[in-house]
Amino acid sequence: MSANPTPPASNSAVDPVELARALIRCPSVTPAEGGALALLEARLAALGFACHRLKFSAPGTPDVENLYARLGSGKPNFCFAGHTDVVPVGDTKGWTRDPFGADIVDGMLYGRGAADMKGAVAAFVAAASRFIAARGPSFGGSISLLITGDEEGPSINGTRKVLEWLKARGETLEACLVGEPTNPTQLGEAVKIGRRGNFYATLTALGTQGHTAYPHFADNAAHRIVRMLAAMLAEPLDQGSEHFEPSTLQVATIDVGNSAGNIVPGRASARLNIRFNDRHTPQSLEAWLRRHCDAVGGKYELAVELSGPVFLTPPGKLSALIASAVERHTGLKPTLGTAGGTSDARFIKDYCPVAEFGLVGQTMHKVDERVPVADLERLAAIYRTVLEGFFAGS
Protein backbone atom coordinates (compact mmCIF):
# COMPACT_ATOMS: atom_id res chain seq x y z
CA MET A 1 0.00 0.00 0.00
CA SER A 2 1.15 3.52 -0.67
CA ALA A 3 0.02 7.05 0.04
CA ASN A 4 0.40 10.05 -2.20
CA PRO A 5 1.57 13.33 -0.69
CA THR A 6 -1.29 15.79 -0.93
CA PRO A 7 -0.69 18.33 -3.72
CA PRO A 8 -2.60 21.59 -4.01
CA ALA A 9 -6.19 21.00 -5.10
CA SER A 10 -6.89 21.49 -8.79
CA ASN A 11 -9.53 23.97 -9.83
CA SER A 12 -10.39 22.01 -12.98
CA ALA A 13 -13.65 20.11 -12.71
CA VAL A 14 -13.76 16.53 -13.93
CA ASP A 15 -16.07 15.61 -16.82
CA PRO A 16 -18.06 12.52 -15.71
CA VAL A 17 -18.65 11.33 -19.28
CA GLU A 18 -14.99 11.57 -20.25
CA LEU A 19 -13.90 9.78 -17.07
CA ALA A 20 -16.57 7.08 -17.44
CA ARG A 21 -15.35 6.38 -20.97
CA ALA A 22 -11.76 6.17 -19.78
CA LEU A 23 -12.73 3.74 -17.02
CA ILE A 24 -14.76 1.55 -19.38
CA ARG A 25 -11.72 1.23 -21.63
CA CYS A 26 -9.89 -0.42 -18.72
CA PRO A 27 -10.59 -4.20 -18.97
CA SER A 28 -11.01 -4.66 -15.21
CA VAL A 29 -12.86 -7.99 -15.17
CA THR A 30 -12.74 -9.35 -11.61
CA PRO A 31 -10.10 -9.71 -10.17
CA ALA A 32 -8.01 -7.77 -12.74
CA GLU A 33 -7.31 -4.14 -11.92
CA GLY A 34 -7.03 -3.40 -15.63
CA GLY A 35 -5.68 0.12 -15.10
CA ALA A 36 -8.93 1.45 -13.64
CA LEU A 37 -7.62 2.11 -10.14
CA ALA A 38 -4.43 3.63 -11.49
CA LEU A 39 -6.52 6.00 -13.58
CA LEU A 40 -8.66 7.00 -10.59
CA GLU A 41 -5.62 7.43 -8.37
CA ALA A 42 -4.07 9.87 -10.83
CA ARG A 43 -7.28 11.90 -11.20
CA LEU A 44 -7.92 12.04 -7.46
CA ALA A 45 -4.33 12.90 -6.58
CA ALA A 46 -4.54 15.85 -8.97
CA LEU A 47 -7.55 17.06 -6.97
CA GLY A 48 -5.64 16.91 -3.70
CA PHE A 49 -6.73 13.50 -2.41
CA ALA A 50 -4.29 11.36 -0.45
CA CYS A 51 -4.49 7.98 -2.21
CA HIS A 52 -3.78 4.53 -0.81
CA ARG A 53 -3.56 1.47 -3.06
CA LEU A 54 -4.38 -1.56 -0.96
CA LYS A 55 -3.80 -5.16 -2.03
CA PHE A 56 -5.36 -7.90 0.06
CA SER A 57 -5.03 -11.67 -0.07
CA ALA A 58 -6.74 -14.72 1.39
CA PRO A 59 -6.16 -18.46 0.91
CA GLY A 60 -8.04 -19.86 -2.06
CA THR A 61 -8.92 -16.45 -3.51
CA PRO A 62 -7.13 -14.16 -5.96
CA ASP A 63 -5.26 -11.11 -4.72
CA VAL A 64 -7.32 -7.95 -5.17
CA GLU A 65 -6.30 -4.31 -5.45
CA ASN A 66 -8.40 -1.56 -3.90
CA LEU A 67 -8.20 2.22 -3.59
CA TYR A 68 -8.98 4.48 -0.67
CA ALA A 69 -8.65 8.21 -1.30
CA ARG A 70 -9.37 11.02 1.14
CA LEU A 71 -9.38 14.79 0.91
CA GLY A 72 -9.10 16.44 4.30
CA SER A 73 -8.37 15.03 7.74
CA GLY A 74 -11.23 16.34 9.83
CA LYS A 75 -14.69 15.06 10.63
CA PRO A 76 -17.25 14.42 9.36
CA ASN A 77 -15.94 12.10 6.66
CA PHE A 78 -18.42 11.58 3.81
CA CYS A 79 -17.57 8.50 1.76
CA PHE A 80 -18.50 7.49 -1.77
CA ALA A 81 -18.17 3.72 -2.15
CA GLY A 82 -18.18 1.59 -5.26
CA HIS A 83 -16.24 -0.78 -7.49
CA THR A 84 -14.35 -0.73 -10.75
CA ASP A 85 -14.36 -4.49 -11.34
CA VAL A 86 -16.87 -5.78 -13.88
CA VAL A 87 -18.37 -9.11 -14.86
CA PRO A 88 -17.12 -10.91 -18.00
CA VAL A 89 -18.52 -9.72 -21.32
CA GLY A 90 -19.51 -13.20 -22.50
CA ASP A 91 -19.65 -13.82 -26.25
CA THR A 92 -18.43 -10.61 -27.84
CA LYS A 93 -20.28 -11.53 -31.04
CA GLY A 94 -23.51 -10.66 -29.26
CA TRP A 95 -22.40 -7.09 -28.66
CA THR A 96 -23.14 -4.43 -31.24
CA ARG A 97 -20.28 -2.33 -29.84
CA ASP A 98 -16.86 -3.14 -28.42
CA PRO A 99 -17.51 -3.95 -24.71
CA PHE A 100 -14.42 -1.92 -23.79
CA GLY A 101 -14.71 0.68 -26.54
CA ALA A 102 -16.87 3.19 -24.61
CA ASP A 103 -18.69 4.23 -27.78
CA ILE A 104 -21.39 6.90 -27.62
CA VAL A 105 -24.26 6.22 -30.02
CA ASP A 106 -27.52 8.21 -30.08
CA GLY A 107 -26.81 9.68 -26.66
CA MET A 108 -26.03 6.30 -25.05
CA LEU A 109 -22.66 5.28 -23.61
CA TYR A 110 -21.95 1.61 -24.34
CA GLY A 111 -19.55 -0.66 -22.48
CA ARG A 112 -19.12 -3.19 -19.73
CA GLY A 113 -19.47 -1.37 -16.45
CA ALA A 114 -21.30 1.66 -17.85
CA ALA A 115 -24.21 1.03 -15.48
CA ASP A 116 -22.54 -1.27 -12.93
CA MET A 117 -20.79 0.85 -11.92
CA LYS A 118 -18.02 2.81 -13.61
CA GLY A 119 -20.53 5.49 -14.56
CA ALA A 120 -21.31 6.18 -10.91
CA VAL A 121 -17.63 6.09 -9.93
CA ALA A 122 -16.95 8.75 -12.58
CA ALA A 123 -19.85 10.79 -11.18
CA PHE A 124 -18.32 10.51 -7.68
CA VAL A 125 -15.09 12.11 -8.89
CA ALA A 126 -16.86 14.75 -10.98
CA ALA A 127 -19.10 15.73 -8.06
CA ALA A 128 -16.17 15.98 -5.66
CA SER A 129 -14.13 18.04 -8.14
CA ARG A 130 -16.96 20.52 -8.69
CA PHE A 131 -17.70 20.78 -4.98
CA ILE A 132 -14.03 21.42 -4.20
CA ALA A 133 -13.74 24.00 -6.99
CA ALA A 134 -16.67 25.90 -5.49
CA ARG A 135 -15.86 25.52 -1.78
CA GLY A 136 -12.10 25.13 -1.78
CA PRO A 137 -10.20 22.35 0.00
CA SER A 138 -11.25 23.56 3.48
CA PHE A 139 -14.95 22.77 3.81
CA GLY A 140 -15.24 21.56 7.38
CA GLY A 141 -14.65 17.85 6.99
CA SER A 142 -13.41 15.19 4.61
CA ILE A 143 -14.53 13.51 1.39
CA SER A 144 -13.35 9.98 0.72
CA LEU A 145 -13.75 7.33 -1.96
CA LEU A 146 -13.59 3.62 -1.17
CA ILE A 147 -13.23 1.77 -4.46
CA THR A 148 -12.82 -2.00 -4.60
CA GLY A 149 -11.90 -4.45 -7.31
CA ASP A 150 -13.72 -7.36 -5.67
CA GLU A 151 -17.45 -6.56 -5.65
CA GLU A 152 -18.40 -8.78 -8.58
CA GLY A 153 -16.23 -11.62 -7.26
CA PRO A 154 -15.94 -13.35 -3.88
CA SER A 155 -16.07 -10.02 -1.99
CA ILE A 156 -13.40 -11.27 0.38
CA ASN A 157 -10.39 -9.08 -0.40
CA GLY A 158 -12.29 -5.90 -1.12
CA THR A 159 -14.53 -3.50 0.79
CA ARG A 160 -14.67 -5.54 3.97
CA LYS A 161 -10.88 -5.54 4.33
CA VAL A 162 -10.55 -1.87 3.41
CA LEU A 163 -12.99 -1.07 6.22
CA GLU A 164 -10.95 -3.17 8.64
CA TRP A 165 -7.81 -1.33 7.49
CA LEU A 166 -9.51 2.02 8.13
CA LYS A 167 -10.59 0.94 11.60
CA ALA A 168 -7.05 -0.17 12.45
CA ARG A 169 -5.81 3.29 11.40
CA GLY A 170 -8.39 5.00 13.58
CA GLU A 171 -10.26 6.46 10.60
CA THR A 172 -14.04 6.66 10.70
CA LEU A 173 -16.79 7.24 8.19
CA GLU A 174 -19.75 9.36 9.27
CA ALA A 175 -21.92 8.58 6.21
CA CYS A 176 -21.58 6.60 3.00
CA LEU A 177 -23.28 6.69 -0.39
CA VAL A 178 -22.86 3.57 -2.55
CA GLY A 179 -23.26 4.09 -6.29
CA GLU A 180 -24.85 0.78 -7.26
CA PRO A 181 -27.51 1.08 -9.99
CA THR A 182 -30.74 1.46 -8.01
CA ASN A 183 -33.25 2.67 -10.59
CA PRO A 184 -35.44 0.20 -12.53
CA THR A 185 -36.35 2.31 -15.57
CA GLN A 186 -35.36 5.98 -15.13
CA LEU A 187 -32.98 8.01 -13.03
CA GLY A 188 -34.61 9.18 -9.82
CA GLU A 189 -36.95 6.29 -9.02
CA ALA A 190 -35.31 4.63 -6.03
CA VAL A 191 -32.86 5.07 -3.18
CA LYS A 192 -31.87 1.83 -1.46
CA ILE A 193 -31.78 1.98 2.33
CA GLY A 194 -31.20 -1.72 2.87
CA ARG A 195 -30.92 -5.07 1.15
CA ARG A 196 -32.38 -8.50 1.60
CA GLY A 197 -30.12 -11.20 2.97
CA ASN A 198 -28.62 -13.84 0.68
CA PHE A 199 -28.73 -17.44 1.95
CA TYR A 200 -27.63 -20.61 0.14
CA ALA A 201 -28.45 -24.21 0.96
CA THR A 202 -27.39 -27.52 -0.57
CA LEU A 203 -29.91 -30.28 0.06
CA THR A 204 -28.90 -33.90 -0.56
CA ALA A 205 -31.50 -36.65 -0.33
CA LEU A 206 -30.08 -40.11 0.38
CA GLY A 207 -31.62 -43.39 -0.74
CA THR A 208 -30.58 -46.75 -2.13
CA GLN A 209 -29.53 -47.26 -5.74
CA GLY A 210 -31.26 -50.01 -7.71
CA HIS A 211 -32.80 -51.19 -10.98
CA THR A 212 -35.83 -49.27 -12.22
CA ALA A 213 -37.57 -52.60 -12.98
CA TYR A 214 -37.28 -53.58 -9.32
CA PRO A 215 -38.08 -50.39 -7.41
CA HIS A 216 -39.10 -52.34 -4.29
CA PHE A 217 -35.43 -53.22 -3.82
CA ALA A 218 -34.39 -49.57 -4.01
CA ASP A 219 -35.12 -46.23 -2.38
CA ASN A 220 -35.39 -43.45 -4.96
CA ALA A 221 -33.55 -40.34 -3.73
CA ALA A 222 -34.91 -38.30 -6.65
CA HIS A 223 -38.50 -38.94 -5.56
CA ARG A 224 -37.64 -37.88 -2.02
CA ILE A 225 -35.95 -34.62 -3.01
CA VAL A 226 -38.82 -33.73 -5.36
CA ARG A 227 -41.30 -34.10 -2.50
CA MET A 228 -39.09 -32.03 -0.19
CA LEU A 229 -38.73 -29.24 -2.73
CA ALA A 230 -42.45 -29.30 -3.52
CA ALA A 231 -43.25 -28.86 0.18
CA MET A 232 -40.92 -25.88 0.43
CA LEU A 233 -42.26 -24.20 -2.68
CA ALA A 234 -45.87 -24.67 -1.59
CA GLU A 235 -45.45 -22.54 1.56
CA PRO A 236 -44.49 -18.84 1.23
CA LEU A 237 -41.74 -17.82 3.59
CA ASP A 238 -43.60 -14.63 4.57
CA GLN A 239 -45.72 -11.79 3.23
CA GLY A 240 -43.03 -9.13 3.48
CA SER A 241 -42.46 -6.44 6.13
CA GLU A 242 -42.57 -2.67 6.46
CA HIS A 243 -39.48 -2.00 4.36
CA PHE A 244 -38.98 -5.33 2.58
CA GLU A 245 -40.79 -7.34 -0.06
CA PRO A 246 -41.59 -11.04 0.62
CA SER A 247 -38.69 -13.45 0.98
CA THR A 248 -38.20 -15.82 -1.94
CA LEU A 249 -36.80 -19.31 -2.41
CA GLN A 250 -35.45 -20.38 -5.78
CA VAL A 251 -34.22 -23.83 -6.77
CA ALA A 252 -31.03 -23.17 -8.74
CA THR A 253 -29.92 -26.73 -9.57
CA ILE A 254 -31.19 -30.30 -9.26
CA ASP A 255 -28.79 -33.17 -9.95
CA VAL A 256 -28.81 -36.94 -9.51
CA GLY A 257 -25.58 -37.64 -11.38
CA ASN A 258 -27.33 -40.44 -13.27
CA SER A 259 -26.06 -41.28 -16.76
CA ALA A 260 -28.47 -44.17 -17.37
CA GLY A 261 -32.25 -44.27 -17.61
CA ASN A 262 -32.70 -47.63 -15.86
CA ILE A 263 -31.00 -46.85 -12.54
CA VAL A 264 -32.86 -45.72 -9.45
CA PRO A 265 -30.66 -42.93 -8.05
CA GLY A 266 -29.42 -43.38 -4.52
CA ARG A 267 -28.42 -39.77 -4.14
CA ALA A 268 -30.00 -36.51 -5.36
CA SER A 269 -28.95 -32.95 -4.60
CA ALA A 270 -30.36 -29.48 -5.09
CA ARG A 271 -28.87 -26.02 -4.69
CA LEU A 272 -31.23 -23.45 -3.19
CA ASN A 273 -31.04 -19.67 -2.87
CA ILE A 274 -33.18 -17.66 -0.45
CA ARG A 275 -33.34 -13.86 -0.56
CA PHE A 276 -34.76 -13.03 2.86
CA ASN A 277 -36.11 -10.02 4.70
CA ASP A 278 -35.93 -8.91 8.31
CA ARG A 279 -38.51 -11.47 9.44
CA HIS A 280 -35.82 -14.15 9.25
CA THR A 281 -32.37 -15.07 10.48
CA PRO A 282 -30.03 -17.69 9.01
CA GLN A 283 -30.93 -19.94 11.93
CA SER A 284 -34.67 -19.59 11.37
CA LEU A 285 -34.25 -20.30 7.65
CA GLU A 286 -32.30 -23.48 8.31
CA ALA A 287 -34.97 -24.59 10.79
CA TRP A 288 -37.68 -23.85 8.18
CA LEU A 289 -35.90 -25.98 5.58
CA ARG A 290 -35.36 -28.86 8.00
CA ARG A 291 -38.99 -28.82 9.06
CA HIS A 292 -40.09 -29.46 5.48
CA CYS A 293 -37.47 -32.14 4.93
CA ASP A 294 -38.36 -33.90 8.20
CA ALA A 295 -42.05 -33.87 7.25
CA VAL A 296 -41.24 -35.85 4.09
CA GLY A 297 -38.98 -38.21 6.00
CA GLY A 298 -35.97 -40.30 5.06
CA LYS A 299 -32.29 -39.58 5.14
CA TYR A 300 -30.93 -36.25 3.93
CA GLU A 301 -28.04 -33.84 4.39
CA LEU A 302 -28.36 -30.05 4.51
CA ALA A 303 -25.45 -27.62 4.23
CA VAL A 304 -26.15 -23.89 4.57
CA GLU A 305 -24.17 -20.72 3.86
CA LEU A 306 -24.91 -17.07 4.57
CA SER A 307 -23.59 -14.96 1.71
CA GLY A 308 -24.91 -11.64 2.99
CA PRO A 309 -27.05 -10.58 5.96
CA VAL A 310 -30.25 -8.59 5.72
CA PHE A 311 -29.73 -4.98 6.75
CA LEU A 312 -31.61 -1.71 6.96
CA THR A 313 -30.57 1.88 7.54
CA PRO A 314 -33.89 3.31 8.79
CA PRO A 315 -35.08 6.42 6.95
CA GLY A 316 -33.21 9.39 8.38
CA LYS A 317 -30.91 12.29 7.55
CA LEU A 318 -28.81 10.49 4.94
CA SER A 319 -31.69 9.04 2.93
CA ALA A 320 -33.61 12.32 3.17
CA LEU A 321 -30.56 14.25 1.92
CA ILE A 322 -30.13 11.93 -1.06
CA ALA A 323 -33.86 11.88 -1.86
CA SER A 324 -33.99 15.68 -1.79
CA ALA A 325 -31.04 15.94 -4.18
CA VAL A 326 -32.60 13.37 -6.50
CA GLU A 327 -35.92 15.20 -6.60
CA ARG A 328 -34.18 18.52 -7.24
CA HIS A 329 -32.39 17.25 -10.34
CA THR A 330 -34.90 14.72 -11.73
CA GLY A 331 -38.30 15.98 -10.58
CA LEU A 332 -39.03 12.52 -9.17
CA LYS A 333 -39.61 11.67 -5.53
CA PRO A 334 -37.67 8.42 -5.09
CA THR A 335 -38.95 5.48 -3.10
CA LEU A 336 -36.84 4.32 -0.18
CA GLY A 337 -36.59 0.62 -0.94
CA THR A 338 -34.67 -2.59 -0.34
CA ALA A 339 -35.36 -4.64 -3.47
CA GLY A 340 -32.72 -6.33 -5.59
CA GLY A 341 -29.59 -8.29 -4.87
CA THR A 342 -26.93 -7.67 -2.27
CA SER A 343 -24.12 -5.11 -2.41
CA ASP A 344 -21.05 -4.04 -0.47
CA ALA A 345 -23.33 -1.83 1.61
CA ARG A 346 -23.80 -4.99 3.69
CA PHE A 347 -20.27 -4.46 5.03
CA ILE A 348 -20.43 -0.68 5.33
CA LYS A 349 -23.61 -0.70 7.44
CA ASP A 350 -21.54 -1.96 10.41
CA TYR A 351 -19.48 1.26 10.32
CA CYS A 352 -21.84 4.14 9.49
CA PRO A 353 -25.24 5.01 7.99
CA VAL A 354 -25.27 3.92 4.35
CA ALA A 355 -27.62 4.33 1.41
CA GLU A 356 -27.38 3.55 -2.29
CA PHE A 357 -28.20 5.58 -5.36
CA GLY A 358 -26.86 5.16 -8.87
CA LEU A 359 -27.83 4.77 -12.49
CA VAL A 360 -30.57 2.76 -14.19
CA GLY A 361 -29.82 -0.95 -13.95
CA GLN A 362 -31.80 -2.35 -16.87
CA THR A 363 -28.72 -3.38 -18.86
CA MET A 364 -26.23 -4.22 -16.10
CA HIS A 365 -24.47 -7.57 -16.67
CA LYS A 366 -26.15 -7.78 -20.09
CA VAL A 367 -24.90 -7.63 -23.66
CA ASP A 368 -24.70 -4.01 -24.84
CA GLU A 369 -24.65 -2.60 -21.32
CA ARG A 370 -25.29 1.13 -21.67
CA VAL A 371 -26.48 4.32 -19.97
CA PRO A 372 -27.74 7.68 -21.24
CA VAL A 373 -24.95 10.23 -21.33
CA ALA A 374 -27.36 12.78 -19.87
CA ASP A 375 -27.84 10.56 -16.82
CA LEU A 376 -24.12 10.70 -16.05
CA GLU A 377 -24.25 14.48 -15.90
CA ARG A 378 -27.40 14.44 -13.77
CA LEU A 379 -25.93 11.84 -11.42
CA ALA A 380 -22.82 13.97 -10.91
CA ALA A 381 -25.08 16.94 -10.14
CA ILE A 382 -27.06 14.86 -7.63
CA TYR A 383 -23.90 13.71 -5.87
CA ARG A 384 -22.58 17.28 -5.72
CA THR A 385 -25.86 18.46 -4.19
CA VAL A 386 -25.58 15.71 -1.59
CA LEU A 387 -22.11 16.98 -0.66
CA GLU A 388 -23.39 20.55 -0.47
CA GLY A 389 -26.20 19.49 1.83
CA PHE A 390 -23.98 17.29 4.00
CA PHE A 391 -21.43 20.06 4.57
CA ALA A 392 -23.96 22.92 4.62
CA GLY A 393 -23.37 23.69 8.28
CA SER A 394 -19.60 23.54 8.05
Catalytic residues: 85, 151
What span, in angstroms and rounded, lies between the C-alpha atoms of 73 and 50?
Answer: 10
Q: Which residues contact 114 (CB under 8 A, 6 or more apart)?
A: 20, 24, 102, 359, 363, 369, 370, 371
Single-letter amino acid code for the residue at 43? R
Strand extents, DSSP E, the chain: 2-3, 50-58, 61-71, 77-83, 104-105, 108-110, 142-148, 175-178, 190-192, 194-195, 197-206, 210-211, 248-255, 263-264, 267-276, 299-308, 311-312, 335-337, 354-356, 370-372
DSSP 153-180: TTSSSSHHHHHHHHHHHT---SEEEE--
Report the candidate in 166, 181, 27, 33 with the shortest Cα–Cα distance to residue 92. 27
Report the candidate in 386, 267, 274, 275 with the shortest Cα–Cα distance to residue 323. 386
What span, in angstroms and rounded, lies between the C-alpha atoms of 325 and 135?
Answer: 18
φ, ψ for residue 346 (rounded to 5)?
Answer: -65, -25
Beta bridge partners of 80: 145, 177
Single-letter amino acid code for the residue at 125? V
Strand order in the sheet with 104-105: 104-105, 108-110, 370-372
Interhelix angle 119-135/373-390, rounded to 10 degrees, is 50
What DSSP element (H or E) covers 226? helix 221-234
Report the candidate in 235, 246, 37, 59 with the shortest Cα–Cα distance to residue 146. 37
- Per the CB < 8 A criterion, the answer to whether 74 and 1 are in contact is no
